[in-house]
Structure 1
Amino acid sequence: MKVRQISIFLENKFGRLAQVTRVLGENGINIRALSIADTTDFGILRLIVNEPEKAYGVLKDAGFTVSATDVIAVEVADTPGGLAVALEALEKTGINIEYLYAFVQKASSAALVVFRVEQVDEAIKVLQQSGTRILSEDEVYQL
């Protein structure tokens, strides 16, 4: 139920993001979701891709600073308060969310959200108990 996320450290320089996407594209790797957090000098690009191990390798070979992290991809009702159900379940058990970002699924009435938490296995149990559907890595990579 864990999904592998690739994080790339990027200097805030013209064309760096384009270079990442070019390397991935040239290697047949499809981006499923992304998030970027930046400061004046650098950014961290977080990606969910269809082939995370391959992406890690080709980006590393291309000279990027890359890391891999386990995250959770959940499906929440695409209605007001839909995300609150999952967040409240984690809050009740004291599981802290380090960050999250949403992504789009083709032809679905649900919203998909990626969570990064410290206690991944515990968070999966809590979310399942709350009725939140956790997507498998295969489901996410094939979106």
Structure 2
Amino acid sequence: MKIKQLSVFLENKSGRLAAVTRLLAGRGINIRALSIADTSDFGILRLIVNDPEQAYHALKEAGFTVSLTEVLGVEMPDRPGGLSNILSILEEAGINIEYLYAFIGKGDNGALVIFRVEELDKAIAILQRRGITILEGEKIYRL
């Protein structure tokens, strides 16, 4: 039920993001989702890829500062209020959301949201009890 996400520390200078994507492409690693947050000096690139372990080792070997973290993937209807419903469930349970990013799935998947929360196992259990579809890592990696 947990998804492995790569977090890559990048200096905020020309070519650093291109270097990451070029390296992954060269290893046959496909990016499924990404998010980047930056300041004037650096950025944190968050990636879901089809082979997180291989990507982690490739980036480490190339000298990037990278970590693997577990996140939660949720499938929801792609309609007004879909995200609000999930956020309300987490709020009621007192679960803090550190960050999230979303994308539209293929076919009938609707919208997919990646959450980093403080209490991952608790969040999974609560959302499942409320009928929310939690995505397996393998399903996301194969999108």
Q: TM-score range by the shorter chain?
A: over 0.9
2:10–2:16 contact (8 Å) kept in structure 1: yes
* 1:132 corresponding residue in structure 2: 132
* 2:4 corresponding residue in structure 1: 4
Structure 1, gaps ≥5 residues long: none
Q: Per-residue deviation at 1:104? A: 2.5
- Give the residue type in structure 2 aligned to 1:107: G
Return the TM-score normalized by structure 1: 0.98
* 1:35 corresponding residue in structure 2: 35
Q: Per-residue deviation at 1:109? A: 5.1
1:85–1:130 contact (8 Å) kept in structure 2: no
Give the CA RMSD over aligned residues.
0.8
Number of equivalent positions: 143
- Give the residue type in structure 2 aligned to 1:82: G
Report percent identity of matched pairs: 64
Q: Distance in 2 between matches of 1:94 and 1:74?
A: 18
Q: Per-residue deviation at 1:130? A: 1.6
Q: Distance in 2 between matches of 1:105 and 1:29?
A: 19
Q: Distance in 2 between matches of 1:116 and 1:99?
A: 5
CA deviation profile, 1:79-134 (whole Å, cap 9, x unmatched): 11011111111100100000000023112251000000011100001111121100
Return the TM-score normalized by structure 2: 0.98
Structure 2, gaps ≥5 residues long: none
2:102–2:111 contact (8 Å) kept in structure 1: yes
1:97–1:116 contact (8 Å) kept in structure 2: yes
SS, match of residue 71 in structure 1: strand
